[in-house]
Structure 1
Amino acid sequence: MRMNTEETARLKTADGDALRACLDAMKAAQTRDGLPDAALRIDRLTRLMVLLRDRADDFCAALDADFDGRARETSLMSDVMATFNTVKYARGRVKSWMKPDPRDGVVPFNLFGARVEVQRMPKGVVGILGPWNVPLFTTLAPLAFALAAGNRAMLKPSELVPRTSLLLQSAVQDLFAVDEVVVFTGDAALAGAFSALPFDHLVFTGSTTTGVRVMRAAAENLVPVTLELGGKSPVIVGRSADVGLAAERIVTAKVMNGGQVCVSPDTVHVADELVEPFIAACEAAHRRLFPPSAGDAALTSLIDARHFARIRGYLDEIRLAGGRVVDCGGGLATSGRKLTLHLVVDPPSGSRVAQEEIFGPLLQVVRYADITAVIDRINAAPRPLALYYFGTDREEERQVLERTLSGGVAINDVMLQVAAHDAPFGGVGASGMGVYHGREGFNEFCHPRTVYRSGWWDPRKALGLVPPYSKQLYGRLSKVLRV
């Protein structure tokens, strides 16, 4: 159902009152229509797939314009196709996810036909605050699981990608009823009003600092939140690693979207004797990916002047302090807000690049002598969204996995843990809370409701479990407490 002219105008000039009115209408519709069956959920997910398929080229063009330089192949893979495949995965499993989950019964009532099951009930209306870096995936992937769980949703994409946000708004209003899914566009003030609404669940992807504000606003209404925040994801290159393979995969992942990915590697810990071979291998890998003769078309621009200045500021600080910076560009000329990958080798611990999430085409390379010290350093920092280990030493790998905690891990690769549709994705501690993807993503947007079904006979009277109690009952019950 398409929106009328008045409804469309309201979305484009949205304020707090318009947001609340939309939320109230959605909650009323959810109550009125009752539990959505599998067919309706599948239909909604199919429409979301059609939206991505039919507007794929338009989204690629909008993203290129918003970034002022983003290859259509990058947008097609990371935003359109990644989201499409996630929605398709959820659509194919809705029916099985919806089935009640039988649980162990209550003894002794289960001996007489009593049964217990858990139903996964939709929470109601889910709010999704999307970021700018991979805007379709980070907004529509959680939407897929919210819809699969039987919810309705209100979306607020980032104002830093205005063309993409307006296109998404238009595409959604063409395919979804106003009380199913709706997109609001606006600035940071609107996002603040959005996060203060009494949703039944709220999803936010972005910085830890903003995540704290979103969670604080949600707490005023006791709204449960899913926060996917990021942080400084470390990489460990062990002495048993294939240095060339490690460098190739790290560089390939780091340059994706100009390093503007929440699970992008931030700091690479490299054994002393492997530092120089690793740097040389990174330079070679970058030249293969971006040969100077091809120009900078395949590089993704930094999103705006502020972020570009921030990354250049990191580099200037290190150079002024006499630190080592390696440009992996190999003579590649860049324009606008595009940067080749730069390595900062052993930066001072007090430097900004060592303390802040980089979120750009810059990588710290930090040497180490003992893997234990690396693990201690990782544990002393906020828990990261991702952790990466390269090497074939199983005992060392075991130490890394058992002695650290992160949102996800990849062994001998980078970022592919996020591509696992059948596994949860989310942070821990400062890198977030809650998950989406997989069965766990469906469960995130459901309330697990226990249902007890009485059996054909109630044994309580026969067992003396109701008043008046016998003198022997206390002693019989106490025997159950033996360990």
Structure 2
Amino acid sequence: MNAISVTPVASLQPSLERLRAAWQARKPDYAQRHDDLSRLRANLKRRLDEMARIIASDFGHRSMDESRIADGMTALNDIDHLLKHLKAWMRPQRVGTGWRFWPGRAQVRAVPLGVVGVIAPWNYPVNLALIPLATAIAAGNHVFLKPSEHTPRTSAFLRDLLNSTFPEDRVAVALGDADVGAAFAGLPFDHLVFTGSTAVGRKVMAAAAQHLTPVTLELGGKSPALICDDYPIEKAAARIATGKWFNCGQTCIAPDYVLVPKPKRDALVAALRKEVQQRYGENLENLDDYTRIINEGQYARLRGYLDDARDRKVERVTLAGLPDPAQRLLPPTLLLDPPDDSKVMQDEIFGPLLPIKGYRTLDDAIAYINARERPLALYPFSNYRASVERILRDTVAGGVSVNDTLFHFAVANLPFGGVGASGMGAYHARAGFDAMSKHLPVFWQAGFTGGDRLKPPYSKAKWLIDLIVR
């Protein structure tokens, strides 16, 4: 594999045309789709340890187990779900016509669109490439993938994996920087899936609009955890710590800030410190399980948030260890009650920094969430069903895990997607299959029907017209 090879921009359109011509010549049937997914699963499973090592080399260091879980298990889980349900999802669904159109009959068929483009990010470079790709394959499409340039070795691994799994006219991979990505987004796909930042998502949508390409945008935002007064602080801290410091916070659905009752703020700080030190050691001795920041640009951005907080005299609590710029090591850090105009409260953090905001009443906490753009994820913590239902009723988010974090993403039966600034559309499960299919309505007319009488002169069919418009 060549980790630094770049796909020429001039070759993108011919590659798309090759994929589309092959799809048009032979639409994938159930047997081909099932075989493709089965081969993809087997090849990925066989190379999981290699995948984890390669991802770690792109990050400088990343926990091998986190890669096996987040990039391996999630992709395998979704492929298993697709294989299990594929035959049923492909079956035409009969629908009623209503008495006015009897004895005709109607059905809805899920038919493939053609060629689906997938633009994948760097934070979970295999998971977020292969899940939409596998879903598009299940729906009967061919796929053109653009992995992230920020994980070049992993992108080359993906190209090698997919080249060994699929014919070149069924799945293609383009490697390259932002210029290749911009040209890729402007191709006339039949559907385009993008996962990444809101800012880049706007550019992708604008490029796709030139061809009226439908898009699924999985973006980000500031996903809050809301701890209600009744919930045990220690349990909330344990589950928030998992969601926040998995992959060193470089997760689009990581808790971006925590809302906690004011009197319990210091108890939460103590509980989070205890959790972090149990996991990584008081001085981050367990560095094998603590992932580094992906590159110098992201490290500098996160340090800038800390500098801005320092200038605003925000209280900072480092939970374990010390920064090490040479390793791009940034320790788990809390920022207590930062002002709303601080950088850490304006931007999606995407790192190991966690603001803690105290609130007075549940009404105040809900109002705080609703005053901001709709988040990709929301994490309410309460053992009172009424409190959880109130939060779910009065807020809007892309997805929710109640009394935990992250898990709604990994459940294969649940659709995953944002709302507003956090995204558009959804995939995973049936939602992804539907998004990458055309649901074709088909009406079958009977040999003899009253509709044959609905023609001028209408005076001859007045009795029939009076019947159907009653």
State the Cα distance separating 1:273 from its structure 2 match: 1.2
State the Cα distance separating 1:478 from its structure 2 match: 9.1
Aligned partner (choices 117, 131, 145) of residue 107 of structure 2: 117
**Alignment of structure 1 residues 339-350 onto 2, 5 Å:** 339-350=330-341
Give the structure 2 partner of residue 22 of structure 1. 15
Kept in 1, the 8 Å contact 2:219–2:252? The answer is: yes
Confirm whether residue 467 of structure 1 aligns to residue 460 of structure 2.
Answer: no
Give the structure 2 partner of residue 302 of structure 1. 293
**Alignment of structure 1 residues 65-76 onto 2, 5 Å:** 65-76=57-68
Give the structure 2 partner of residue 328 of structure 1. 319
Following TM superposition, the consecutive aligned residue runs of length 4 or more in structure 1 with deviations greater than 3 angstroms are 292-295, 331-335, 474-481
Structure 1: gaps spanning 5 or more residues: 1-7
State the Cα distance separating 1:14 from its structure 2 match: 2.2
State the Cα distance separating 1:115 from its structure 2 match: 0.8
Change (3 A) 1:352 1:118: same
Aligned amino acid, residue 369 of structure 2: I
Tell me, in whole angstroms, the C-alpha distance in 2 between the residues paired with 1:472 and 1:36: 47
Kept in 1, the 8 Å contact 2:454–2:461? The answer is: no
Tell me, in whole angstroms, the C-alpha distance in 1 between the residues paired with 2:243 and 2:409: 12
Kept in 2, the 8 Å contact 1:292–1:333? The answer is: no
State the Cα distance separating 1:295 from its structure 2 match: 3.2
Structure 2: gaps spanning 5 or more residues: none
Confirm whether residue 64 of structure 1 aligns to residue 53 of structure 2.
Answer: no
State the Cα distance separating 1:140 from its structure 2 match: 0.5
Aligned partner (choices 92, 99, 124) of residue 91 of structure 2: 99
Kept in 2, the 8 Å contact 1:387–1:410? The answer is: yes
Confirm whether residue 153 of structure 1 aligns to residue 139 of structure 2.
Answer: no
Confirm whether residue 365 of structure 1 aligns to residue 366 of structure 2.
Answer: no
Aligned amino acid, residue 409 of structure 2: V
Tell me, in whole angstroms, the C-alpha distance in 1 between the residues paired with 2:468 and 2:37: 54
Confirm whether residue 244 of structure 1 aligns to residue 237 of structure 2.
Answer: no
State the Cα distance separating 1:375 from its structure 2 match: 1.2
Give the structure 2 partner of residue 5 of structure 1. none
Confirm whether residue 438 of structure 1 aligns to residue 425 of structure 2.
Answer: no
Give the structure 2 partner of residue 261 of structure 1. 251
Aligned partner (choices 422, 427, 431) of residue 418 of structure 2: 427
CA-atom RMSD in angstroms? 1.9
Aligned amino acid, residue 230 of structure 2: S
Change (3 A) 1:151 1:475: closer
Q: Secondary structure of the equivalent of 2:401?
A: strand
Q: Secondary structure of the equivalent of 2:354?
A: strand
Kept in 2, the 8 Å contact 1:63–1:75? The answer is: yes
Confirm whether residue 137 of structure 1 aligns to residue 127 of structure 2.
Answer: yes
Give the structure 2 partner of residue 388 of structure 1. 379
Kept in 2, the 8 Å contact 1:250–1:414? The answer is: yes
Tell me, in whole angstroms, the C-alpha distance in 1 between the residues paired with 2:151 and 2:277: 30
Tell me, in whole angstroms, the C-alpha distance in 2 between the residues paired with 1:75 and 1:379: 34
- Tell me the TM-score normalised to structure 2 length: 0.96
Aligned amino acid, residue 278 of structure 2: R
1:133-167 CA distance string (max 9 Å, x none): 00001111011110000000010100100111111
Aligned partner (choices 267, 274, 281) of residue 284 of structure 1: 274
Kept in 2, the 8 Å contact 1:109–1:455? The answer is: no
Q: Which 10-residue stretch deviates more, 159-168 or 285-294? A: 285-294
Q: Which 10-residue stretch deviates more, 294-303 or 265-274? A: 294-303
1:2-38 CA distance string (max 9 Å, x none): xxxxxx99x94422321100100111111111x3211
Aligned partner (choices 302, 310, 322) of residue 311 of structure 1: 302
Aligned amino acid, residue 51 of structure 1: N
Q: Which 10-residue stretch deviates more, 288-297 or 92-101? A: 288-297
Give the structure 2 partner of residue 3 of structure 1. none
- Tell me the TM-score normalised to structure 1 length: 0.93
Q: Secondary structure of the equivalent of 1:407?
A: coil
Tell me, in whole angstroms, the C-alpha distance in 1 between the residues paired with 2:25 and 2:248: 46
Kept in 2, the 8 Å contact 1:155–1:183? The answer is: yes
Q: Secondary structure of the equivalent of 2:459?
A: coil
Tell me, in whole angstroms, the C-alpha distance in 2 between the residues paired with 1:191 and 1:460: 52
State the identity as a percent.
40
Give the structure 1 partner of residue 397 of structure 2. 406
State the Cα distance separating 1:132 from its structure 2 match: 0.2
Kept in 1, the 8 Å contact 2:323–2:330? The answer is: no
Tell me, in whole angstroms, the C-alpha distance in 1 between the residues paired with 2:307 and 2:5: 41
Tell me, in whole angstroms, the C-alpha distance in 1 between the residues paired with 2:397 and 2:278: 31
Q: Secondary structure of the equivalent of 2:118?
A: strand
Confirm whether residue 163 of structure 1 aligns to residue 153 of structure 2.
Answer: yes
1:202-244 CA distance string (max 9 Å, x none): 0100000000000000000010000000100011100011111
Kept in 1, the 8 Å contact 2:279–2:286? The answer is: no
Kept in 1, the 8 Å contact 2:121–2:148? The answer is: yes
Aligned amino acid, residue 277 of structure 1: A
Kept in 1, the 8 Å contact 2:322–2:330? The answer is: no
State the Cα distance separating 1:349 from its structure 2 match: 1.3
Kept in 2, the 8 Å contact 1:425–1:437? The answer is: yes
1:416-467 CA distance string (max 9 Å, x none): 1111101100001100011111111111100000111112421135xx5322
Give the structure 2 partner of residue 415 of structure 1. 406
Q: Size of the alignment, in residue pairs?
A: 467
Give the structure 1 partner of residue 173 of structure 2. 183
Q: Secondary structure of the equivalent of 1:268?
A: strand
State the Cα distance separating 1:333 from its structure 2 match: 7.6
Kept in 2, the 8 Å contact 1:268–1:363? The answer is: yes
Q: Which 10-residue stretch deviates more, 408-417 or 395-404? A: 395-404
Kept in 2, the 8 Å contact 1:145–1:441? The answer is: yes
Give the structure 1 partner of residue 79 of structure 2. 87
Tell me, in whole angstroms, the C-alpha distance in 1 between the residues paired with 2:417 and 2:124: 16
Q: Secondary structure of the equivalent of 1:265?
A: coil
Aligned amino acid, residue 99 of structure 1: R
Tell me, in whole angstroms, the C-alpha distance in 2 between the residues paired with 1:479 and 1:173: 58
Tell me, in whole angstroms, the C-alpha distance in 1 between the residues paired with 2:6 and 2:165: 21
